[in-house]
Structure formats: C-alpha cells, structure tokens
C-alpha cells in the first residue's frame, strides 16, 4: 500500500520532529496531543526548526510554507483513525501506549498501520493488545528527528512483510536510512548506548572522575561528539532510567542494573536539559557540572 496520510500521537520532542520530517517529505500530517498548550508549543518548534533550515539553505521558503500547511492538529485522538499510518510518540510508559491504542481501535480504518516510536518496549507485547498485530511495528526515530539519519524498524512476532515494506518505503522517502532490528529489549541503538551512559554514571558515582573529566575523556579520547553525561541530559535522565529498567527486567542480567546515582537524579526531578538541571545545571548562560 502507498502511504499518503500520517497521524502522530504526541507533540513533544519526538512527535513534533516526526511531524516536521513527514510534512517536509510530502505527507499530510495530523498531530494529536492531550493539551492545546502542547500542540501550540509543538507547532512553534516545528516552525522555528523549518525557519532554521531556510536560513541555512537546506530548504526553500516555499518548501517551508508548504510543509507547515500540510500539518493539522487535534485534541481528539480518534481523529487520527483514518490515517494510512499512525506513529505513537507518547511518553515511554507501556500503560500509556496501550491506552492510546485502545482508544484508537474503534476509529481505525481497515488498512491503517499502527507503529510505536518506543525506544525499548516490546513491539510484540504492544501489538498483542491491538486488533491488528500483523499491521503493527516499531518505528523508532533518533533524536533530534530532523537531524539524525537513522530509523530503527522493529518487527514484532506477528508483523507481516507488507507492513514492513510500507514502513521501509516511508523511511526511504524521508531520505533516512533504516536499520532492521529484532524485537528484544531496547533493540540495537539503546541496547548499546544506554549501558555506556549507565557505566559513565557509575564512573561518576564511584568517584573515578567528575562530570567534566568523564565527558572530556569520551569526547577527546573516543571522538564522541557529546560526552555520555551531556548526552544523558539531552535525552532525559528519566528516559535513560526507563530504558535501563526495561533492559534489566527484560534480560535479567545484573550488568544492566541502573546506577543508584541515576535513580537519585530522577527522584530529585533533575532530568537534564528539559528541567534545567541534570548532570549539568543549565539555568545560567553556560552549563555548569553539578558534581
């Protein structure tokens, strides 16, 4: 099937980025959230990011205007039901995702493909709670969506080949690259990335180095564009902890045990850039390490 219309659930960091790239690629996009403030903020971010692309000659003013015109918003989740493809990009909580798919169920067209942008939760398990496990798969974008080139495509045990081919065609139309991953906890990218971040937090926790020395070591010693603690703040420490818990619970291996310091930061509400404090304090002109 050819996908022409796309529904995006969630106007946050990932959802607005997905809506941005989909509209720019020529798809009609309907963006949904539970609050008008979230929708307004999401559209504002999309506009700002498109304007930045115009200023850098990545796109033309006409392409920017056309992309914005392709995006509509709604507070009513079931309005997305007639879309050819729905991408759920809500918070990384399985109960929330299940409730979204349950609400969508009666409004879905027969041909609609359901996908989740989950970074770690079992696609097979999410699919089993819907009425179309064969038309369900993982569609995992990297953050920030307009910049990052990779999309992980994850098939559940029931996902059929037609669904996979349709989603692969979307990735190719976006000009991005698809990596096919099997449905195991955290898939490929986060299965490798999150334990590295967790180990960096253990290195801090055990006093092997401070925030600055750990990040500098990985930037200058391993040529990483961002240090692991800086990257954790960018991703969100709550998201990092949630993925480590999925790995720990799903694989039952102590090497995935979340660092107690990571848990402490999350309990304090120091979640990184989005809350103004994490391993760095972002409330001043320049970020300052908190340890």
Provide the pLDDT for residue 1.
78
- The DSSP bridge pattern shows strands 288-289 and 280-281 to be antiparallel
Does the annotation list 253 as a binding residue? no
Q: Report strand pairing: 113-116 vs 177-181.
A: unpaired
Q: Is the pTM of this model over 0.85?
A: yes
Residue 190 appears among annotated catalytic residues: yes
Annotated active-site residue in 16, 32, 117, 190: 190
* C-beta separation of 98 from 125 below 8 A: no
Q: Is 269 annotated as a binding residue?
A: no
15 is in an annotated binding site: yes
**Active-site residue, from 20, 32, 122, 152:** 152
Is 119 one of the catalytic residues? yes
* Structural domains of the chain in order of their starting residue, each with its CATH number: 5-182 (3.40.50.720), 190-289 (1.10.1040.10)
Cβ neighbours for 280, distance < 8 A, ≥ 6 positions apart: 211, 229, 230, 233, 287, 288, 289, 290
The annotation status of 165 as a binding-site residue, yes or no, is no
Is position 94 annotated in a ligand binding site?
Answer: no
- Summarised one tens digit per residue, pLDDT across range 146-175 is 999 999 999 999 999 999 999 999 999 999
> By three-state DSSP, how is residue 136 classified?
strand
Q: Angle at Cα 170 formed by Cα 169 and Cα 171, nearest 5°?
A: 90
Q: What is the pLDDT along the chain (291 residues), one digit of tens a residue?
A: 789 999 999 999 899 999 999 999 999 999 999 999 999 999 999 999 999 999 999 999 999 999 999 999 999 999 999 999 999 999 888 999 999 999 999 999 999 999 999 988 999 999 999 999 999 999 999 999 999 999 999 999 999 999 999 999 999 999 999 999 999 999 999 999 999 999 999 999 999 999 999 999 999 999 999 999 999 999 999 999 999 999 999 999 999 999 999 999 999 999 999 999 999 999 999 999 999
* pLDDT computed for residue 90 by the predictor: 95
152 is annotated as an active-site residue: yes
**Residue whose tokens read 């409730």:** 99
Cβ–Cβ under 8 Å, residues 237 and 266: yes
Catalytic residue chosen out of the listed positions 119, 120, 122, 198: 119
- Reply yes or no on whether 140 is catalytic: yes
């Amino acid at each position: 099937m050819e996908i022409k219309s796309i529904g995006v659930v969630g106007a946050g960091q990932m959802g607005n980025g997905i809506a941005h790239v989909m509209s720019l690629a020529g798809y009609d996009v309907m963006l949904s959230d539970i609050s008008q403030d979230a929708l307004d903020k999401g559209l504002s971010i999309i506009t700002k990011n498109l304007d930045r692309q115009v200023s850098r000659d990545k796109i033309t003013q006409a392409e920017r205007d056309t992309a914005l015109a392709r995006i509509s918003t709604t507070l009513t989740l079931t309005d997305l039901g007639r879309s050819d493809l729905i991408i759920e990009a809500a918070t990384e909580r399985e109960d929330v995702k299940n409730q979204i798919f349950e609400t969508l169920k009666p409004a879905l067209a027969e041909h609609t493909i359901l996908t989740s942008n989950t970074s770690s939760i079992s696609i097979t398990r999410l699919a089993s709670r819907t009425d179309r496990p064969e038309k369900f798969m993982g569609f995992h974008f990297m953050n920030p969506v307009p910049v990052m080139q990779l999309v992980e495509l994850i098939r559940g045990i029931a996902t059929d080949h037609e669904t996979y081919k349709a989603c692969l065609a979307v990735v190719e139309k976006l000009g991005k690259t698809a990596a096919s991953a099997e449905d195991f906890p955290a898939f490929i990218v986060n299965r490798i990335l999150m334990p590295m971040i967790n180990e960096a937090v253990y290195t801090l926790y055990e006093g092997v180095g401070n925030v600055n020395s750990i990040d500098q070591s990985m930037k200058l010693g391993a040529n990483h564009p961002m240090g692991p603690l800086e990257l954790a703040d960018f991703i969100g420490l709550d998201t990092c902890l949630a993925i480590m818990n999925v790995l720990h619970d799903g694989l039952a291996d102590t090497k995935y045990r979340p660092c107690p310091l990571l848990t402490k930061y999350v309990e304090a509400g120091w979640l990184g850039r989005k809350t103004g404090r994490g391993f760095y304090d972002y409330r001043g002109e320049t970020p300052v390490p908190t340890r």
